[in-house]
């Protein structure tokens, strides 16, 4: 099956197996958060019939307001029968291990959840 790709400068790179799912990936890209540390381009790939893998990075700051590290993360998001997105899992990859690091996973989980749940 051919993979369809859409690339929007500074917004998202989406890959899907059909025009319909590419449209859904682009819709997801419009919902996913940007800013407040999520400062990179979303990479969204269809990984199942109704499942997407959305990856990005979080730009962390230290207590002095200086950027100190980048945390890569991935959200697994399903599209249900009502065409609504549901966050299934969020994973951090090589998180910064600093004593001042707060619970970044919870912050990202809630940020993505509420962004895709917004009506």
- pTM (predicted TM-score): 0.85
Distance set, CA 102 to CA 2, 29, 96, 97, 107 (Å): 42, 26, 10, 10, 9
Sheet of strand 67-79: strand arrangement = 4-8, 12-16, 42-48, 51-61, 67-79, 85-93
Percent of the chain at pLDDT exceeding 90: 49
Scan for tokens 């051919």, then name that residue: 2
pLDDT tens series, the chain, 119 aa: 455 566 665 568 888 888 899 999 999 998 999 888 898 999 999 999 999 999 999 988 888 988 888 889 999 999 999 999 999 999 988 666 654 456 888 899 999 999 998 75
pLDDT confidence of residue 14: 86
């Amino acid at each position: 099956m051919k993979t369809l790709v859409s690339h929007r400068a500074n917004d998202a790179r989406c890959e899907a197996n059909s025009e319909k799912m590419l449209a859904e990936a682009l819709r997801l890209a419009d919902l996913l958060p940007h800013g407040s540390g999520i400062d990179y381009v979303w990479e969204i790939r269809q990984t199942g019939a109704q499942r997407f893998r959305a990856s990005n990075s979080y730009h962390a700051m230290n207590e002095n307001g200086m950027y100190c590290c980048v945390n890569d993360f991935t959200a697994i998001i399903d599209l249900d029968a009502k065409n609504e997105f549901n966050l299934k899992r969020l994973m951090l990859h090589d998180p910064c291990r600093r004593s001042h690091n707060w619970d970044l996973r919870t912050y990202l989980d809630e940020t993505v959840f509420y962004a895709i749940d917004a009506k």
